[in-house]
Structure 1
Amino acid sequence: MIFEINERRVIPNWRDFKRTWQLGELNSSLRATNKPLNFNLERAVSDWKTNSNIGNAADLVNSAYVSGLKSSQDVLDAVEFIRANRDQASASLLDLANSFFAEEKSNSQKSLLELDIETVEEFKAFIDKKTLPKLIHKTRIKAHNEFNNPIVWVELARLHSIVGQEEKAEKAISVALNLAPDNRFVLRSATRLFIHNEKFDKALYFLKKSPRTKSDPWLTSAHIATSSIMGRFSTLINSGKSLVIGGNFSSYDLTELSSTLATLELKDGSFKKAKPFIEKATLDPNDNSLAQLEWLSKEDNRIIIDPQSFTNVINPFEAFALDHFQKGNWKEAFNNCLKWFLDIPYSKRPVQLGAYIVGSLLDDNETALFLLKAGMNANPFDPILLNNLTYYHVISNLMDEAIHYFNSLKNIDFHSLSDENKITVQATFGLVAFRSGQIDIGESFYEQSIRSAELLKNDHMRISAILNYTRELIIVKSPKKDHYIDLIDKMEIDDDFNDLITIRKKILGFSNDYHFVEHSDKQ
């Protein structure tokens, strides 16, 4: 399999409402500063300590919430008191106390997942439970019982999207958009769904339609990023820049917009103009902007980012996966891919990267196949997932299963693929031909993929194709194998391509094993 980290944009991540709210992405958009208000809690603390009852606990927690001074032990004690005496607390007070508890928990764990997993076995057990159909049924009933609640319809759309039910997901999100066309959560969720379904015009339509988009940095960012994917100039770029420099929003509210603007400036070739937006994005990043900054740092070595140093970012799995991958820390990278997938299970990027790591670098093809099949739930017709399923079935000598996915892969419109994806598919066609005994055809496809990568000046894909080709030449004992073994042995590989260095070592070891077997046979 040839893996390539494709171009990234700051598209909104889509989670359930509770986790999105806990992450702070739904707070009031107009916050002049990150600093807490000048608010004295001494009296409330004194009253609480003197008489620890529900009323004084409520006064302290409410005061702490308004002031932003949430982290003192007295406040946390009051929160625990309210939660322990829930029968005496109002629903709104209990919700407030629970939000403190969730925030404190997330600050200590840096993780807000629907399910926390520590091992591959736990991941497989979760996927195998097949609980989503039951959850979809339950949510559908709730949506019809609470027809005017847009949040439930958004969640129904998200669940349908996770299992690849595109039409049902769009019907549910349409109801939510009719009920709350200017709601940030609804609009950002709809944007992600339409982009996931490659209906970019629809995403832009609803963003343009809302008068809030121009004044809300979270929505402005989504508009600019969506336009960029489509190769269009966003009419909100200048107003977005004004929002960033205006001083009316917190750094957290501006982080996605700042990273989006930085990406545009770098794409236009201006590091000088990008730099202030990069600096703004790093002040208080969320998981999405941190991943974008990490990706940008690999595109431009003038950008220096250490994702591990941003200790306050919750759900940093994508940035951590990319960082560990770049450094050659395969196990850490793979574990973060699993959590990244569980965080946003409709996304194919954690599946693609995770399968490549565990299959090609950690030699666990079984887990690679399991992860790819899990990704197919939300992306049943994705050509690269079909390609990678074909690849790992072939490598595992499961040719019947491989041909099943290969036949689906042959039916795709090859010309609709990106140039990078064409190279990937060409190489896989070569692999299938080799393993089917059609050596000449296999050589032709591999050599074509190598030439295509050279024309694109994509060294990573070129070297990767050569490495895979060499392995197949060794297996069939082709006369060409010695040339290619010598080629990859002497080949200079960029230090940033730790994955290719690892794979080359495996193939050179593989060639030595084959040489030993051939020599023994001759004896």
Structure 2
Amino acid sequence: MHRTEDFTDQISIWCQEGSLEAASDIFDTYLITGDSNLLRLANSIFEKHADEIPPRLRFAIESAHEPANDTLELRRSIAYRETDKNYVWKTIAVQKRRISEYPRDALAYLELARLYTICGHFEKAEEQLDIARSLAPENRVILRSTLKFYHIISDLKTGLGILRRSDRIRFDPWIQSAEVATSNALQTTSRFHNRKLVHQLKDGSVTRDSTELAMAIATLEKAHGVTERKIFKLVRQALPKSTENGFAQAIWLSNHSSREFLDRFPESKPSSEAYEAKLKLALAANDFQAAAGFAELWVEDQPFSQDAIIRYLNLLAVHTGPDQRSISFARRAAKIFNESWHVLNAALLLLVEAGELNAAHDVLIKLRRETPQGASRAFVQAAEGFYAFARGDFLTGREAYEAAAKTARQHRSNDLIVNSAMFWLRCEMVNGLISQECIKGISDRIDLAIKKGRLQDRHHLTNTWGAIKRKAAEVKLPESAPDARGEDLVTKTISQNLDDPELMQDAQLNL
């Protein structure tokens, strides 16, 4: 969600202008920030142009003053209408007319870029972003939105370069925090991760403007092996004034440490619309129904957040079961984010689980194309196996999972080995292909591998494994395997990987 601070420069200009169009811009800013002070400011200008207000705008203003129509509902309504591409294209036409009237309105080009992104026209969106930056190169909201766009199209490196070349990065903690988080995602060195800044944040009072930067620095500190005591000293400084993003990051840090968030900060509660934070707290409490609900709200509130989409699809696929709404959402997400292998992988999982095999096959083709080389290939190989088992091709399914295990082993990725083993065993169990005795032996090995694995992987692996065991409990398993040779392959491959002492040692070293 955008903040009033992101628009400070524009609001000042609009107030000086005092026109009907300026009041409309302030009103739009109120809708996306929820700041009632902006609504009052817009009204003070609207009153001077009462006879000039168009009917549609007048209706929107009156709706904003109705108690039942809070800004959250207005934003949801907008997000729902924008699932209709015809509506979006009509809005694009309106936005183009606006730009023809106000060709130097940088935010108008930004909005056009957002609309093109909804339709999957990323080249056109990028062109509009370039124009917006040329008109307002140091505008905070344009810079952060640009980075978000490059995250959507899986090109964070370009986005990071634009951020670093801006002058604003030298003094704006909102831009600095984005640089730190992006550098961490790309596993490159951040220009703002230095001891002087760390000590300044820890020893002083962290302002609201610096909370996201503080949380980003704390995340980097964790990655560099800094002790929990020092990390959470910084988190504790930032948490009281933290934004929704910062709050969610604090929960993530806690849940990937020796103590969960509510144990460390029992008095801290996220705001009513902090859906990501609420989702993570629900997951920590193993309340998957609540987590799925918060994931859906998060997606509605931030429909272009890949993290929100992936969480939503994975939760319904693995824990609560897909419904028609999530199936439609998975299809659409795979079309819009057709270059993001993370989103494609989550969409495929849900579509296969829902029995939508034709749609899943189309997604699988994209996933093969978009997944990079390296450890990530294990995901596409496991997806091949999951899909093959679903359509009854057990031999291909086993070969694919065997390849996934081999890839994960080559790249010494303990969590990928455990994850592929769990889903492979799930496919064997739900199809009644292996015996109860075999399952018991492998299950014990998986339990031990999770226990010995990295602390940061343990919680999500435990949750996933619990969901798979619940699913398997619904199936009547044979006392002896119908395919003894197949069972031997499964047992041998999974056991070899899970019992590898070197991999377990690597996992322990990465605690």
Q: Tell me the TM-score normalized by structure 2.
A: 0.71
Q: Does 1:338 align with 2:320?
A: no
Q: Does 1:127 align with 2:83?
A: yes
What displacement does 1:87 show?
Answer: 3.6
Q: Does 1:360 align with 2:315?
A: no
- Cross-structure match for 1:317: 275
Which secondary structure does the structure 1 equivalent of 2:433 belong to? coil
- Cross-structure match for 1:8: none
1:500-511 correspondence runs (5 A)? 500-511=465-476
Number of positions where the alignment pairs a residue of Structure 1 with one of Structure 2: 433
- Cross-structure match for 2:112: 156
Q: 2:402 aligns with which of 444, 447, 464?
A: 447
- Tell me, yes or no, if the aligned pair for 2:152 and 2:306 is still in contact at 8 Å: no
- Cross-structure match for 2:185: 229
- Tell me, yes or no, if the aligned pair for 1:293 and 1:305 is still in contact at 8 Å: no
- Cross-structure match for 1:284: 241
- Cross-structure match for 1:115: 75
RMSD: 4.3
- Cross-structure match for 2:332: 374
Q: 1:395 aligns with which of 353, 373, 383?
A: 353
Moved more, 390-399 or 140-149: 390-399
1:37-436 correspondence runs (5 A)? 87=47, 112=72, 114-116=74-76, 127=83, 131-238=87-194, 240-241=197-198, 244=201, 251-271=207-227, 272-302=229-259, 304-305=261-262, 310-311=268-269, 313=271, 315-412=273-370, 414-415=372-373, 419=375, 421-436=376-391
Q: Does 1:21 align with 2:18?
A: no
- Tell me, yes or no, if the aligned pair for 1:430 and 1:444 is still in contact at 8 Å: yes
- Tell me, yes or no, if the aligned pair for 1:223 and 1:234 is still in contact at 8 Å: yes
Query: Aligned equivalents of 1:508 and 1:447: distance in 2?
Result: 24
- Cross-structure match for 1:33: none
Moved more, 362-371 or 181-190: 362-371
Query: Aligned equivalents of 1:387 and 1:182: distance in 2?
Result: 36
- Tell me, yes or no, if the aligned pair for 2:337 and 2:344 is still in contact at 8 Å: no
Query: Aligned equivalents of 1:225 and 1:207: distance in 2?
Result: 12
Query: Aligned equivalents of 1:178 and 1:381: distance in 2?
Result: 27
Distance 1:277 1:433, change over 3 A: same
- Cross-structure match for 1:483: 438
Query: Aligned equivalents of 1:257 and 1:487: distance in 2?
Result: 44
Counterpart of 2:90 in structure 1: which amino acid? Answer: K
Distance 1:367 1:231, change over 3 A: same
Tell me which of the two structures has the higher relative contact order, counting C-alpha pairs closer than 8 angstroms and 6 or more residues apart.
1
Query: Aligned equivalents of 1:510 and 1:130: distance in 2?
Result: 45
Deviations 1:340-379 (A, max 9, x none): 1122222222222111212221122534322222323531
Distance 1:350 1:397, change over 3 A: same
Query: Aligned equivalents of 2:446 and 2:206: distance in 1?
Result: 49
Moved more, 445-454 or 250-259: 445-454
- Cross-structure match for 1:472: 427
- Tell me, yes or no, if the aligned pair for 1:426 and 1:448 is still in contact at 8 Å: yes
Unpaired runs of at least 5, structure 1: 1-14, 29-69, 92-97, 519-523
Distance 1:163 1:138, change over 3 A: same
Distance 1:454 1:413, change over 3 A: closer
Query: Aligned equivalents of 1:222 and 1:251: distance in 2?
Result: 16
Counterpart of 1:176 in structure 2: which amino acid? Answer: A
Distance 1:383 1:469, change over 3 A: same
Counterpart of 1:498 in structure 2: which amino acid? Answer: N
Distance 1:467 1:223, change over 3 A: closer
What displacement does 1:279 show?
Answer: 2.0
Sequence identity percentage: 21
Query: Aligned equivalents of 2:46 and 2:443: distance in 1?
Result: 67
| Higher helix proportion (structure 1 or 2) | 2
What displacement does 1:486 show?
Answer: 5.0
What displacement does 1:410 show?
Answer: 3.1
Which secondary structure does the structure 2 equivalent of 1:282 belong to? helix
What displacement does 1:458 show?
Answer: 5.9
What displacement does 1:435 show?
Answer: 4.0
Query: Aligned equivalents of 1:443 and 1:242: distance in 2?
Result: 52
Which secondary structure does the structure 1 equivalent of 2:360 belong to? helix
- Tell me, yes or no, if the aligned pair for 2:404 and 2:420 is still in contact at 8 Å: yes
Unpaired runs of at least 5, structure 2: 10-34, 52-59, 452-457, 483-511
Distance 1:454 1:304, change over 3 A: farther
- Tell me, yes or no, if the aligned pair for 1:157 and 1:169 is still in contact at 8 Å: yes
Query: Aligned equivalents of 2:445 and 2:415: distance in 1?
Result: 16
Which secondary structure does the structure 2 equivalent of 1:374 belong to? helix
Distance 1:329 1:232, change over 3 A: same
Moved more, 279-288 or 238-247: 238-247
Distance 1:328 1:444, change over 3 A: same
Counterpart of 1:21 in structure 2: which amino acid? Answer: R
Counterpart of 1:170 in structure 2: which amino acid? Answer: E
What displacement does 1:208 show?
Answer: 3.1
Deviations 1:414-470 (A, max 9, x none): 51x6x2x43322222112333445433321222343455567676655444334323
Query: Aligned equivalents of 1:143 and 1:449: distance in 2?
Result: 51
Counterpart of 1:322 in structure 2: which amino acid? Answer: K
